[in-house]
Amino acid sequence: MLTERMKTWRHVFKLDPNRTLSESALEKVCTSGTDAVIVGGTDGVTYQNSRDLIERVAEYPVECVQEISAESAVVPGVDGYLIPVVLNSGSLRWVVEAQQRAIRKYGDWIPWQDVAALGYVVLNPESKVARLTESRTELETADLTAYGRLAESLFRMPALYVEYSGVYGDERMVRAARRVLENARLFYGGGISREDQARAMGREADTVVVGNLVYQNPEAALESVRWVKETEANGVSRD
């Protein structure tokens, strides 16, 4: 089950099918000791560029999962599929509609044991994902923790994803969200570029996602695996 495997993820890389990565850089990413490689992005994601990148990652022993942002880009045969649900979106399209349309299309073909929902709360108003999904990013701590409880206890989601895509986020927000979760995992992603940031979010979150750094500073991106894994998460460990 994908949801079980996700419980072992401390550090993951998110690779964007719409960006170029040399074979030597990809090899380093995939053999870095990271727990999984997520293939996904917001814009310019197609079936072709997703399949190309997934096939390249599949050459390495690391777990590879596709994060689906467009119904047309679904690649069959991947280890797992992450389905974003943007809880603070201003449009139903990104909460249930796009997902319902895709389920209608793929129906019996969906390998549910290898599918997991990610309850996103998008907090960087300047990010592509915030703009696309018209996310309501002006949230207080209490709003975020309520989304956390909604995701975990009402929707029974396996993970809450605090998403600051492109900028380093507010550690207090992440800590508050983590505190109210008992079973769901807390994913943090956004703007990790330095050791202190990787360690700080490594303390607050269960799973730390590193994206842009792979393209901006590959050496630091590789180091981020160690920075996160050496750091103990504050949360009670759950299995």
Ligand X SMILES: O=P(O)(O)OC[C@@H](O)CO
Residues that bind ligand L4TTDIOY (CB under 6 A): 16, 40-42, 67-71, 74, 76, 81, 83-84, 86, 94, 98-99, 102-103, 106, 109-110, 115, 120, 127-129, 132-133, 163, 165-166, 211-212
Q: Does residue 14 have a known ligand-binding role?
A: yes
Q: Give which of 7, 89, 5 is closest to 42, Cα–Cα.
A: 89
- Binding residue for ligand X, selected from 2, 74, 211, 222, defined by CB under 6 A: 211
The radius of gyration computed from the CA coordinates of the chain, to the nearest angstrom, equals 16
Q: Does residue 224 have a known ligand-binding role?
A: no
* Residue closer to Mg ion, measured from CB, 132 or 146: 132
Residues 134-173 that bind ligand X (CB under 6 A): 163, 165-166
Q: Which does residue 209 touch among Mg ion, ligand X, ligand L4TTDIOY, none (CB within 5 to 8 A, set by kind)? A: ligand X
* Using rule CB under 6 A, residue 210 touches ligand X: yes
Task: Provide the b/e sequence for 152-168 (b: ≥16 CB within 10 Å).
Answer: beeeebbbbbbbbbbeb
* Using rule CB under 6 A, residue 10 touches ligand X: no
Count of residues binding ligand X (CB under 6 A)? 13
Q: Does residue 90 have a known ligand-binding role?
A: no
115-122 vs 80-86, strand pairing mode? parallel
* Residue closer to ligand L4TTDIOY, measured from CB, 58 or 70: 70
DSSP 58: T
Compute the residue count for the chain. Answer: 239
Residue type, 120: Y
- Residue with the CB atom nearest ligand X in the bound state: 189
Contact in structure between 177 and 123 (CB atoms under 8 Å): no
* Residue closer to Mg ion, measured from CB, 5 or 19: 19
Q: Does residue 189 have a known ligand-binding role?
A: no
Q: Which residues contact 29 (CB under 8 A, 6 or more apart)?
A: 13, 15, 21, 37, 214, 218, 221, 222
Q: Which does residue 79 touch among ligand X, ligand L4TTDIOY, Mg ion, none (CB within 5 to 8 A, set by kind)? A: none
Alpha carbon distances (Å) from 67 to 75, 76, 112, 141, 238: 10, 12, 14, 27, 24
Q: Which does residue 191 touch among ligand X, Mg ion, ligand L4TTDIOY, none (CB within 5 to 8 A, set by kind)? A: ligand X
* Residue closer to ligand X, measured from CB, 75 or 187: 187
DSSP 154: I
CA 167, CA 24: separation in Å to the nearest integer? Answer: 27
Number of neighbouring beta carbons within 10 Å of residue 56: 17
Min separation Cβ 116 and ligand X, Å: 15
Q: Does residue 153 have a known ligand-binding role?
A: no
